[in-house]
C-alpha cells in the first residue's frame, strides 16, 4: 500500500505587510479533493502538521460562491466533518521520517505562506524525499512550502525545476496582492524556478522529474489524479 504524508499547515493567519493578521488556514477544496482521490486510490494517508497542531480551515473556502453553490459548500463541510477525527490528532511534522513514506502532498490556502514557507525542518524533509527519488507535490499557495528546501551547499533544491503555483494575477484578483509581504510566484521565480501557468483560475499542473505542482484550487483534483496515475 502506498503511504502518503499529507502535510497540512497549522497556521490560522497570514501576517500581512502592515503587520495585521489575515485569518486563514488550509483551503477546503485543496485538502478535500486531493484527499478524496488518494483515499479512492487506496493510499494509506497520514496527516501531519507543524507542531502537531490541529489545522484550521479557511472559512472563506467554505463559501457557496467558491464551491459552485450551497450544495458544493455543504459537501465540503461534510467531508471535513467526517475527516475531523484525523485532523484533530495529526502527527508532528517535525518528527516525521521520510523513510516511512512513499510521497508527500501539501494542500494550500494562505497558511503555508506563514509557517511551511519558513520551516527549515520541512525543507530538510523535502530534501530527503527528493534524494530518495520520492514524489514531492504541492498545490496553489502550498508552493511556499518548497522555499525552505536547501541542498548541503545552500542552493535551492528546486532551482531549474519547471513548476507552478497560485499566480500574481490570481492573488491580485483575490484582493490580497497589495497587502502581501511577498508574492509566491515572484519568490519562486527569484529562487530559480521555471514558472509556468495557465489562465487565471483554470486547472493547471506541472510535472518535472519528481516534483508535481498545481496552480490553484481547481488544480487539486487533477494534480492528485496525475500522481496516482503515475505511481500506479
pTM reported for the whole predicted model: 0.98
Q: Which residues lie closer than 8 Å to 31 by C-beta, 6 or more apart?
A: 8, 57, 80, 107, 109
Residue 178: CB partners within 8 Å, gap ≥ 6?
A: 172
The 10s digit of each residue's pLDDT in 143-195 is 999 999 999 999 999 999 999 999 999 999 999 999 999 999 999 999 999 99
Strand order in the sheet with 211-214: 91-92, 44-49, 3-7, 103-106, 135-139, 211-214, 205-208
Residues 10-22: b if buried by 16+ CB within 10 A, e if exposed:
bbbebeeeeeeee
What are the pLDDT digits (tens) for 214-232? Answer: 999 999 999 999 999 999 9
Amino acid at each position: 500500500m502506498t503511504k502518503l504524508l499529507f502535510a497540512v499547515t497549522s497556521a490560522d493567519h497570514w501576517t500581512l505587510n502592515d503587520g495585521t493578521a489575515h485569518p486563514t488556514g488550509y483551503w477546503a477544496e485543496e485538502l478535500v479533493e486531493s484527499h478524496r482521490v488518494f483515499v479512492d486510490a487506496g493510499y494509506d494517508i497520514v496527516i501531519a502538521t507543524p507542531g502537531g497542531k490541529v489545522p484550521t480551515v479557511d472559512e472563506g473556502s467554505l463559501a457557496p460562491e467558491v464551491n459552485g453553490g450551497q450544495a458544493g459548500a455543504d459537501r465540503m463541510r461534510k467531508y471535513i466533518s467526517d475527516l475531523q477525527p484525523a485532523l484533530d490528532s495529526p502527527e508532528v511534522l517535525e518528527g516525521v521520517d521520510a523513510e516511512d513514506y512513499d510521497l508527500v502532498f501539501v494542500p494550500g490556502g494562505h497558511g503555508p505562506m506563514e509557517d511551511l514557507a519558513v520551516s527549515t525542518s520541512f525543507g530538510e524533509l523535502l530534501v530527503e524525499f527528493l534524494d530518495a527519488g520520492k514524489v514531492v507535490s504541492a498545490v496553489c499557495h502550498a508552493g511556499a512550502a518548497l522555499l525552505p528546501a536547501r541542498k548541503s551547499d545552500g542552493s535551492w533544491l528546486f532551482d531549474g525545476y519547471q513548476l507552478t503555483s497560485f499566480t500574481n494575477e490570481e492573488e491580485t484578483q483575490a484582493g490580497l496582492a497589495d497587502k502581501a509581504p511577498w508574492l509566491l510566484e515572484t519568490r519562486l521565480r527569484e529562487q530559480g524556478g521555471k514558472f509556468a501557468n495557465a489562465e487565471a483560475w483554470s486547472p493547471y499542473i506541472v510535472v518535472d522529474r519528481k516534483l508535481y505542482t498545481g496552480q490553484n484550487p481547481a488544480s487539486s483534483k487533477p494534480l492528485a489524479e496525475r500522481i496516482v496515475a503515475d505511481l500506479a
